[in-house]
Every structure is written in structure tokens, then in C-alpha cells.
Structure 1
Amino acid sequence: PGSEELRPEAEAACPVARRRSTPGRKRWQELLALALAGQVGARGVWLGPPLNLFAYSQISSLVRRAALTQNDNHCNYEKTHNFKVHTFRGPHWCEYCANFMWGLIAQGVRCSDCGLNVHKQCSKHVPNDCQPDLKRIKKVYCCDLTTLVKAHNTQRPMVVDMCIREIEGREISNPDERLEAVHEVLMLLPPAHYETLRYLMIHLKKVTLNEKENFMNAENLGIVFGPTLMRPPEESTLATLNDMRYQKLIVQILIENEDVLF
């Protein structure tokens, strides 16, 4: 124990020294392997019999904490731990101070996002370095935003990126390209459907010419006729509500550009 070669390992095992300067993950793994074999140091200094289960649990906790700290793959968003009172089965050690958790029930608290186990008193001093575990995150909606992005290692929730990509890939901004796309779809209609739609749009275009008297412009007519002409194939109230904005927009485009599209 007095050897100079043992001092780095002894300092690493000390909670205070660990908080001041945390070694790398690889170094902690080496320490754990040597400790389980009962020896530490380049010269193979024997420290006694192999560690028992209690000591192994303590060192494992320290290793896990060091690994979380050294994990650079997560986004650098600061997140507080979501501690809740927990009853541990069997002996447990605090992963902050490395001291034993005494008692039979409610011995400490556990972070429901990353699984960190600490004393209730220690939870007040744990830094805001929670790294959520995907195994513990069971939902996307009604979930803390920071917890979600750190668990998936993203800057934003993936569902936001997916929805925006899908929408932007469909809502064409260039007016000429939009008209061309609508015209291509119209050409796919059966002749009877095409002729009926063409005749109706000619009539509605005439209605808009009297907007001052009837207050029915192309947008208002799109609101009225959109749900009827653009009804979704499945009878779903939710689908109808989601599509209402686009139904109105398409009918409005058909009316305003009736002379070009038909």
C-alpha cells in the first residue's frame, strides 16, 4: 500500500479524487480486471484474496459512472437526474460516495432515466450529468424533451426530423412546379371523373367573379368543396381532420388555375 506504483490506483478508487479528475474508461476497466484478480500494479503486487461480491458491486458502480462521464457520443445537453425513492433488494452501494446503503426499505433513490443509485442525501450533490438509457425510455410523446434527445443521441427528437422531411418532400414551393404536379395527377383521372371535375371548376371560377356580392373567393370555396371532392379513402375522422388543410388548398389551386389545368 505504501508503494509509489499504487498511488494512482488508490486515488482513482477514492470518491473525492474521482470527482476531481476522472480517469478514462479504459483505465477503469483495467483497474476492475486487476482488482478482481487480487493484484494491482505493473509488478504484480499481491493485495490479498479476490474481491468478494460486495466489493465487486462497489467497483462496478464506480466503473459505470466513469464510463458515463467519458462517453462523448451523447449530445452535450445538461440534464438533471430524475431521482425517485427506491427499495433495493440485497446490498447496494451509493454510486456517488461509494458508501453502503443501510436499511431494509427505501435505502436510497434511483434515477428513472439512467438508473443511477445514490443516497437521498447524495442526490443533492450529484452533477447534472444524466445520460438516459434507451432501455428505460419507453415512450416518445409525453416524455421530457432533453431526456429523449440524450437517449437517442440526437439534437432533436427523431420524429420531428422524420415528419419535417416528409412534409418538405411533398409541399412544393415553386408555383410552376406545383401546377405541373397537379396537372400530372389530373391526367391520371378516369375520363368521367376528369370531365366532371373540369365542368365543376369552370362553374366555381365563375362564382369567384362575383366575390364582392357573394363573398366566395377561391379559398372560401376550397373550404366548402374540399372535404367533399378530396375525401380520404378510409372513413377516419382523424384522417379527415389532418387532410382538411390540403383538401382546401388543392381545390383552391384548381379553381384559380382552371384555365391552365383543364
Structure 2
Amino acid sequence: MAHHLCQAGEERRADRVNEFPHLWKSYLYQLQQQAPTPKRIVCSREVPNRPLHYGREFHGMISRAETEWQLHECDGCYLVRESQRAPGQYTLSMRFMAATKNFRLYYDGKHYVGEKRFDTVQDLVADGLITLYLEYNAAEYISMMCVQIKYEESPYMTLSSYQQKMRQMRIQKRSSFSSQESNSTRSPHEYDRPADDIGIFFQEDSVLGDIDVHRFEKPHNFRTHNFKGLPWCDLCGNFMWGIIAQGVKCEDCGFSAHRKCSEKIPNDCLPDLKYIKRVFGIDLTTLVKAHNTPRPFVVDMCIKEIENRGLEMEGLYRISGFSDEVEDVRLSFEKDGLHADISPGAFEDVHVITGVLKLFFRLLPIPLITFDTYPLFMNGVRQQTLEGRLDGLREAINKLPPAHYQTLKYLLAYLNRVTEKQKQNLMTPHNLSTVFCPSLMRTPDLIAQPGQLAAWHQESLVIEILISHQRVLFEYG
């Protein structure tokens, strides 16, 4: 499944190259086409103790002079030999530009001479010849290819602008069509809407104001990638040469680039739902940007469902729901997203929904109160007066990333409403802080240290003050 999705993605990239030919530079691609092709020099004699991972290209312990003679035919010829000076060590020798080049060759289940790992020596040589040829013929061009480009004129920005315009046209067309329908055909459930319209729901919430989720800063999640087909850099527009590990790709948005070019890209990742396949256990900013919402939709859906059922139930959040049902709700969110059914008809016990909300925050890789801001919150709560504590906590809150800030603001307003029913549900700010503290605020150093119990009490006090004084703390937010 993942292979087919990856292959489909590469085909879409090829279509983009054909659709916007002025964005892409073919010079390096043309050079790769001209690079020498590998030619294995087969050993004509039987070699005793031949390593199993080498084939007939292995010539045993031969001299440099014999190696030169074996490879004299043409560029691209190669063989593997055992070192005469260091038995048990192997050398890859290949002909390039009428000279023999020697590389220490390693094997750990894959063949390699550098960082890249190959299934066969033939692939290793093919990739090496391409790299050598491009570096020989275009070294200066390669060194300058990501220096001269303007990011705002890059293929990525051009294509993103085009895609945003097309998306906006689709939304406007759908909105125009929807306005012609009668109110009787409107969905009875506020979440039964297309994903593109989810922003409408959030904008109806008065606590949000005018929020542009795309402006939330997020670094790209680059990983070395084996591209299929003909890969092109989204920053400089040049071809990414080689047969494997040609460059890096953002696992959240699909931005593809040379490794050198990736170092020049600002923190403006726009995660795409094609790549974001999970809801629980992923970075908060990644999730909200992928769904174009200022807060995780899971938080909104759970809180609204709990409030619809009433906040008077005794032990709300203190009593745990059945773990199997909590897991069922989580899987439903993972599978159906906004269309997950968490109504009483599907899950009668409200404690299951409260358990899912706590689980969502507990699984965040970076907690809602981030590791970076943790010291600021702790310093704030250590002030001697309430006024000093509120000033310190307000300063810490304003240092949170936008997605964390908006989610914390919404959650605390809700928890404050829970405490307004404390006579019925017995959930005071202190009780709620005891329940939520482990999920919302985690010590950056996970190794227990002396005084850790005292630190936990201070962490719990942070959450308690945030719940009790949320109106004052966020009145300027």
C-alpha cells in the first residue's frame, strides 16, 4: 500500500514537471544521461575463499598493476579485489576519465563506500559514476545552484500558489452550490462537513478571532529519500541525480530537495493529509496545519460531545472509561477523522470520551506545555505573590507556539466551565489539575532526580492556577 502511494506521488511529480516546464532546469539531468555506464570485469579463473556477497567481479588478491590492465578497456569498467597490504579488506576499483579510482569497500548486508547503501555492487558503481561525472563537469554549477534561487520564485512556492488558487475556486464553487440548497437538506450534525469546510466551523467559535493557520511556523521534517522516476528539487528546480537517496523529502508535506538546498528552506511547512496518516501521537502544529484548523478537531469534538451530555456527572475525568472502548474511539478518529461517531448511540459512557481527550494530550510527542516553555511556567509558579505568579504564567503562555497557545486557551476555558459545576461533579481546579497535569506538562529530563516529587507538585499547581485564572491570563491573548 505504502509503495503504491509513493509511486503515485512520484507520478504526480512527473506531471508537474510537464505542466510547468519553465520551473525546472534539465542541465543536470542531461549530464546524468551522458555519464558512463558500469561494466563488470568478470574474473576468468576460480578464486578460492570468494566472499559470498561478491560475484564474478571479485578477482581476489591482485596487484594495482594488474588492476590497471584489467580496467584499461573503457570508463565504467570495475572490479573488486582484496587488499594485498591488509588481507580481509576489499577495494572497489573502477575506471573514470581514463584513470583508475580505488575505494575501500564495505558490506553489512548492503554494499557501501560512503553513506549510501546498495543491494548490488553494480548499483553502487552506477551511482558513483553519475556522481563523479556531474562533479567533474558541473562542480561550479552545483555549488551555486541553491545560492542564486529566490525562495519566493521557487517551484514549491509557484506550485503552492497555484494549488491554493485551485483549492479556493473549489471551495467557492461548493459554497455557491450549497447556498442554493434548502435548509431542510442541511446535515443535522455540525461535523458532517467536507474537510475543506472545517474552517467554517472553527470560525464560528468566538474565542478564535481571525486566525491564519498557514502562518503557524513549522520546520520541515526532512528525511533521506529514494525517489522513483525523475526527481526534481522543489527549491532550485534542478534534477536530483543518482539512482538512490538522491535527496531529502519532507515526510509531512512532500517538499523534495537536494540535501544542500534543504538547509536554505524556511520553517514554512504546510503538512498535507496525503502524508499525515495519523491523528494521535503526532506533532500538534503538524496536525492543525494539515487539517487547516487552529486546534485539533479531536479536542473540539470531544469537548463539545462531553458538554452536550452535561458537566454535572460526578467524577468527570477522575473516573476512567473502559480501555477497550477508549481504544475503539481512538481508532475511529484515526479511520474516519471528522466523521468519527462518538455520540451516545455509539459510546454510551461519557468517561470513554473524557479518556480519549486525556489520551490525545498524553500521546503528543511535544506536550501541550512545550519542553521549551516548561522552565518559564515553573519560574512563574515559584513567585511569592499571586500577582507575580499570574505575570510569570502569562509571559510563559505567550511564548507557546500558536497551535499550542490556541489549544491551551480553548481547553482551559472548558475546564473552567467544568469547575463551575463542582458541586455536582466534585471536580475542583485542584482535582482537575491532578488529573491533567501528567498529560499537559512533562518534565523535559525524563530521568528521575532528587526533588522530583516537589517538581510534580509545582507542575500540578501550574495547571490549577491556569484553570482557576484562565480569564485573566488570556484576556490579552
The answer to whether TM tops 0.5 is no
TM-score norm. by structure 1 comes to: 0.44
Q: Which has the higher helix share?
A: 1
TM-score norm. by structure 2 comes to: 0.26
Q: Which has the larger radius of gyration?
A: 1
